Amino acid sequence: MSSVRRVSHEFLKRQGLTTVFGNPGSNELPFLADLPEGFRYVLGLHEGAVVGMADGYAQATGRPVLVNLHAASGSGNAMGALTNAVASRTPLVVVAGQQVRPAVGPEANLANVDAPALMKPLVGWAAEPACAEDVPRALAQAVFEAGLQRRPTYLSVPYDDWAVEVDDNCLAVLDRRVERASVPDGEQGRRLAERVAAAERPALVLGGDIDSAGLFDCAVRLAERLGGPVWAAPSLFRLPFPNRHPLFRGVLPAGIAPICAALEGHDLVLVLGAPVFRYHEYLPGRYLPEGTRLIQVTEDASAAARAPMGEALVADPRAVIELLLEQLGTLTAPTGPYRPVPEPPTAEGPLLHPEEVFAALRDEMPEDTAYVVESTSTNSSWWRQMDLRRPGSYYFPAAGGLGFGLPGAVGVALAQPDRPVVGVIGDGSANYGITALWTAAQHRVPLTIVLLRNGTYGALRWFGDLLGVPDAPGMDIPGLDFTRIAEGYGVSARQVGDAEELRAVLAERPDKPRLVQVDTALTTPS
């Protein structure tokens, strides 16, 4: 005989979910009892930061990750952060504590009434097992569903379940293995290859899933074979292609009319690993130019089903890229040299232009640095200066929910201890996930946070002009000093004054986290 807890811990260990990101409450303590050797508990001080860190960690490892949260209040705090994990298709397995079974109905304090319903709009699967004996199986389902659907899942477990003895049937779950294969059949593959080969002016649009799936380099081979231009899909959260590659045209603007304009002149648009499309600003128009056909290849069945136009093939983009390379041949046309970087503009007075900051990062940080970016008004400055040629170089909050950047950077750094990691964080964004600084300090994560302080919600000022609302209140955020905030959380911090000082600081390689605050001029996102 064994207990629900022992079988569950053993299952998690066998599946490799041994790093637990959490913030505990009384309901969660019985799950955390007797964690076996090899488990690592990463404490976050707020659930938004817990999920942001887990999201960064799961994206950087490419594997499901366990998150342990408190019942309704803790899970509720995590919801905003989960919106990003849904959009980046991050397989987070959230296990939350519940009051003991007899106390849920009477709504004792800390009971999560109808726990799965709280999370359902966001998670791909949510449950509270009908009896204690079903907990290990349900936990396995939560892990497998997260991996298969590439979407967070949620399991609520009454805390009196963990000590319950289970019979041998429960042990069967320990040996389970669940995999997916999704290769197009011969006919589908031939048809697709014919369509692509017949296109006179094909264009590629690549989504964040291409980088998540480890297809960054494959995408380069395909693009060089096709010879046509490459865009990154709008609302980009991972960079799928080297941004200074001669075929790269940038990130598609996130509006209907501008996308239509950008794709003008192409008879075929092949979208790989992205929804069609994740628009943001509502700029109505034709979806596609006259005479342009669109084919979307994605593993995300919902993204295929909900697209407003085009054809879709629900399949593994890796299989499709390999199939196209095989059927089209691998001869590549010469593409020319990588595009050079421009000289950054300088700002007036004591402020740095964001491009000066990014040029410093580009020059002083190693080529394989992973950047987690959450600075919204500096988007175009960023792409003008950066030269990212490696997979896993860029992360951005996938649903635009602030509070991912700082925790996400901590999670990426925990996942890849040998890779330099920089968080590029706005003075507005930093506040939504600020407590992750404490976790970084406690784990001595060698992470650099470059804090861009322009004293305002810059992107919202720009949006205000776009929407004809130039006078909205609540746009400015004066009086924040992140060097003092960081020190309070145990992270050493400094203010830098000019580009030269910034470059000198970035050239150092500290073995623990640090925050570098830079006062920057206001720019616009595009």
How many C-beta atoms lie closer than 10 Å to residue 69's C-beta? 28
How many C-beta atoms lie closer than 10 Å to residue 326's C-beta? 11
Interface residue with ligand TZD among 144, 162, 457, 489 (CB under 6 A) is 457
Q: Which two tokens stand for residue 452?
A: 């861009």
Tell me whether residue 64 or residue 433 sits nearer to ligand TZD (CB atom).
433
Interface residue with ligand TZD among 124, 158, 423, 426 (CB under 6 A) is 426
Residue 158's φ and ψ, nearest 5 degrees, are: -55, 135
Q: Is 355 one of the catalytic residues?
A: no
The set of long-range contacts for 129-132, using a CB threshold of 8 Å and a minimum separation of 24, is: 129/155, 129/157, 129/161, 132/4, 132/158, 132/160, 132/161, 132/164, 132/166
Q: Which of 16, 26, 107, 497 is catalytic?
A: 26
Q: Is 189 one of the catalytic residues?
A: no
Q: Which of 8, 9, 22, 28 is catalytic?
A: 28
Q: Is 447 in the site for ligand TZD (CB under 6 A)?
A: no
Q: Is 88 in the site for ligand TZD (CB under 6 A)?
A: no
The entry of ligand TZD, Ca ion, none that residue 381 binds, CB within 5 to 8 Å by partner kind: none
| Measured distance between the N- and C-terminal CA atoms of the chain, rounded to whole angstroms | 62
Q: Is 433 in the site for ligand TZD (CB under 6 A)?
A: no
User: Which residue in the shown chain puts its C-beta closest to ligand TZD?
Assistant: 426
Q: What is the largest CA-CA distance in the chain?
A: 73
Q: Which stretch binds ligand TZD (CB under 6 A): 125-133, 303-311, 357-365, 373-381?
A: 373-381
Q: Is 400 in the site for ligand TZD (CB under 6 A)?
A: yes
Element (H, E) at 209: helix 208-212
Interface residue with ligand TZD among 2, 61, 416, 456 (CB under 6 A) is 456
- DSSP-derived letter for residue 291 is T
Q: Is 264 one of the catalytic residues?
A: no
Cα gap 94→139, rounded to integer Å? 10
Q: Is 299 in the site for ligand TZD (CB under 6 A)?
A: no
Three-class SS of 383-441: HHHCCCCCCCCEECCCCCCCCCHHHHHHHHHHHCCCCCEEEEEECCHHHHCCCHHHHHH
Q: Is 133 one of the catalytic residues?
A: no
Q: Is 429 in the site for ligand TZD (CB under 6 A)?
A: yes
- DSSP-derived letter for residue 508 is -
Q: Is 353 one of the catalytic residues?
A: no
Q: Which of residues 436-455 bind Ca ion (CB under 5 A)?
A: 454
Residue 90's φ and ψ, nearest 5 degrees, are: -90, 125
Number of residues that bind ligand TZD (CB under 6 A): 20
Q: Is 202 in the site for ligand TZD (CB under 6 A)?
A: no
Tell me whether residue 333 or residue 472 sits nearer to ligand TZD (CB atom).
472
Q: Which of 74, 207, 400, 426 is catalytic?
A: 400
For the stretch 101-123, what's the b/e string if a residue is b when 16 or more beta carbons lie within 10 angstroms of its beta carbon? Answer: eebbeeeeebbbeebeebbeebb
Site string for Ca ion, 414-433 (x = CB under 5 A): ------------xxx-----
Active site residues: 25-26, 28, 47, 70, 280, 400
